[in-house]
Chains A and B, each alone.
Chain A
């Protein structure tokens, strides 16, 4: 069988598996966030944490919950790394230096999982488990909680309450992420993924580092986190040993972001509203997959930075899934991709991570884009736009615009400053246009909370650690506060009935409008930068 045919069959199996999970899993998610009863475990958690699960919050309090929870998460993770040497299973990997510890703490709490450290020599097993694994779970649960709160903005009316952040957070963790992660962690071990508390194994006279991989591997993909337990990430045979594990990991990356469009449709009472979002995500995702696949198959050095057991198709598929979802795990080194293939991976992030985007973040990002699209349509016909029965007035559109503009602002400022700093030249691993691509990719990855890298760039200087950390934090929390503000404004409104003048948001017209907005916003913002980096490179 040719590699191309095998690759197409693999894509077919992936799509079939996602389609099979779509309805039951998407509807399960909808039930998780609408049930009024708490499980016994959850009641114990609420009692221990002294939070009242039956009170509802205004948008501001909900946002404060997110920010407070994330802030203490950063502080705790920072401290854990700084005292690593006294923790068990540290294996002489000493205290993590301050700049690196700050960057890593922000990185994992913001669901970015950008890694400025080499895990095998820097991060001990204890910090990996009680620090990084925990944030893999809860940062994903935060994303889902915010998405659900935004959906409530559309489904509720004439209320100032968006739900209870602590309940949404705990349910996402306990009812969704934990059971799925446990089952698939065991499956991955059965298929050959490592789960060892030793520091290394002897291979023909040389030591290769090992770790408790499987438990973190699963949530790294399922929560669209992406931080490798080992430096080579999912290219490492201990993280991703064969074609089976590779496909399962890609499935886990896409499972929640794809299924949440079903959750959305179910919650707003019109499943077609979810399908139309999925069609836009799917169309852009498929187009980008084709670009990466063809580009990599026709590269000058197609196997550089790729594992032989994955080859071109499985590497292209993984790269497209990981950059389209703000995951950032890699099974091939994107830095060695072709100009076009690496540029497409970069563009996936520059779309704002909504094809299909991260866990929760993908849904709220495309909903914000839908608000923008309806606003543009409203401008064309000169009437106040509506979406799902809610008027999009000044406050709604302003919040949506702030959410959309935060990422490009911090990205271009960060990359622009980095490009002119004297030390940057020495940090690059490649000359010419590809060097600029390395800078652009780093700030795109941080600002979009993706976490993958053109990893040749050395980002251990204070400037990179601090500026990328700030980009991750602003790229995460400015949009979150903005979309919660949007949700608050929407929930306060009463629904307006659809009239003959209402643009239906389920058909191909809306789908085209939405897809066009995604592409147009990215193109208008980033074409100049892309022209100097990946586009120049692709034309070499």
Chain B
């Protein structure tokens, strides 16, 4: 065996041994340590997504606030990946606009953008305050609640920006529908 070939094999074998040791450290000990800390009270609920209000899926029926359209194939997440000059997708958006307008009994020009576009994850928990407001009369009627009461629930489940400027505000649909459950 030439010196060069031997050198190659030696380096690869050393690489294998180093990789195995680092696998134990970064692939076993590290995630187990993070998991262990995540069992602490206060963290556990986050780690297990216990209240599940971080994501939204559509609930059928007049009673519920509807989240944004989803391109996800559950249990997986995902977006539509449609470009802005895609005529087929323009038609899909137009259909959605018509459907939302009919459902809420309003003209199509009142349907906000987030009501007809798919989110990136397909699980976006938020809708705009405009889209929530659009749904308030229908939801109030279907739940036998006053419009004012439903508006209160919307306000109580609206998330602001972190520190006042991180991210964008939105109404958490899952939390809002849970609140409707409790109120109804």
Query: Are A and B genuine complex partners?
Result: yes
Q: Which residues of A contact B (CB under 8 A)?
A: 1, 3, 5-7, 9-10, 13, 45, 48-51, 61, 64-65, 67-73, 76, 118-121, 129-131, 133-134, 137-138, 166, 169-170, 173-174, 177-178, 181-182, 185-186, 189-210, 212, 214-216, 219, 230-232, 235-238, 241-244, 246-247, 299-311, 314, 330-333, 335-336, 338-339, 342, 429-434, 437, 454-456, 537, 540
Report, nearest first, the 6 A-B pairs whose CB atoms are least far apart. Answer: A243-B167, A243-B166, A456-B81, A69-B15, A235-B120, A311-B168
Contact: B46 with A304, CB < 8 Å? no
Contact: A304 with B31, CB < 8 Å? no
Q: How far is the CA of A6 from the CA of B174 in the complex (A)?
A: 26
Contacts A305-B79, A336-B84; A247 near B166 (Cβ below 8 A): yes
Contact: B55 with A203, CB < 8 Å? yes
Question: What is the size, in residues, of chain B's interface with A at 8 Å between Cβ atoms?
Answer: 82
Q: How far is the CA of A537 from the CA of B86 in the complex (A)?
A: 11
Q: Which residues 103-143 in B have Cβ within 8 Å of A in the complex?
A: 113-114, 117-128
Contact: A338 with B84, CB < 8 Å? yes
Q: Does B99 contact A (CB under 8 A)?
A: no
Q: How far is the CA of A202 from the CA of B37 in the complex (A)?
A: 24
Residues of A within 8 A of B122 (CB): 232
Given pairs A64-B7, A242-B162, 15 additional interface contacts (CB within 8 A): A7-B165, A10-B165, A76-B19, A119-B76, A130-B27, A134-B26, A137-B22, A182-B30, A186-B37, A204-B177, A208-B52, A208-B57, A232-B120, A237-B54, A455-B78
Q: Select one of B11, B15, B27, B74 contacting A208, CB under 8 A.
A: B74
Contact: B11 with A9, CB < 8 Å? no
Contact: B23 with A305, CB < 8 Å? no
**Closest B residue by C-beta to A141:** B22
Q: How far is the CA of A534 from the CA of B79 in the complex (A)?
A: 20
Contact: A206 with B120, CB < 8 Å? no
**Closest A residue by C-beta to B48:** A196
Residues of A within 8 A of B157 (CB): none
**Closest A residue by C-beta to B168:** A311
Contact: B85 with A434, CB < 8 Å? yes
Interface pairs (30), CB distance under 8 Å: A5-B165, A10-B166, A61-B7, A68-B11, A73-B19, A76-B16, A121-B76, A130-B23, A137-B26, A170-B18, A173-B26, A178-B25, A178-B26, A194-B49, A201-B48, A203-B55, A208-B77, A237-B54, A238-B49, A243-B162, A244-B162, A244-B167, A303-B117, A307-B120, A308-B168, A333-B81, A335-B79, A335-B83, A336-B81, A430-B81
Contact: A308 with B128, CB < 8 Å? yes
Contacts A174-B25, A208-B74, A232-B121; A456 near B167 (Cβ below 8 A): no
Residues of B within 8 A of A311 (CB): 167-168
Q: Select one of A49, A64, A119 contacting B18, CB under 8 A.
A: A49
Q: How far is the CA of A10 from the CA of B161 in the complex (A)?
A: 11
Residues of B within 8 A of A339 (CB): 84-85
Q: Does B91 contact A (CB under 8 A)?
A: no
Residues of B within 8 A of A335 (CB): 79, 81-83
**Closest A residue by C-beta to B11:** A68
Q: How far is the CA of A431 from the CA of B83 in the complex (A)?
A: 9
Q: Does B1 contact A (CB under 8 A)?
A: no
Contact: A129 with B28, CB < 8 Å? yes
Q: Does B93 contact A (CB under 8 A)?
A: yes
Min distance, Cβ A159 to any Cβ of chain B, angstroms: 20
Residues of B within 8 A of A309 (CB): 124-126, 159, 167-168, 170
Q: Select one of A121, A214, A236, A303 contacting B47, CB under 8 A.
A: A214
Contact mask for chain B residues 33-54; partner A; CB cutoff 8 A; 1 contact, 0 none? 1110110001100111100101
Contact: A190 with B31, CB < 8 Å? no
Contact: B81 with A237, CB < 8 Å? no
**Closest B residue by C-beta to A3:** B168
Contact: B165 with A304, CB < 8 Å? no
**Closest A residue by C-beta to B167:** A243
Q: Does B8 contact A (CB under 8 A)?
A: yes
Residues of A within 8 A of B128 (CB): 308
Q: Does B149 contact A (CB under 8 A)?
A: no
Residues of A within 8 A of B177 (CB): 204
Contact: B174 with A204, CB < 8 Å? yes
Q: Does B14 contact A (CB under 8 A)?
A: yes
Q: Select one of A131, A198, A434 contacting B27, CB under 8 A.
A: A131
Contact: B47 with A330, CB < 8 Å? no
Contact: A51 with B18, CB < 8 Å? yes
Q: How far is the CA of A5 from the CA of B57 in the complex (A)?
A: 31
Q: How far is the CA of A301 from the CA of B75 in the complex (A)?
A: 26
Q: How far is the CA of A201 from the CA of B47 in the complex (A)?
A: 12
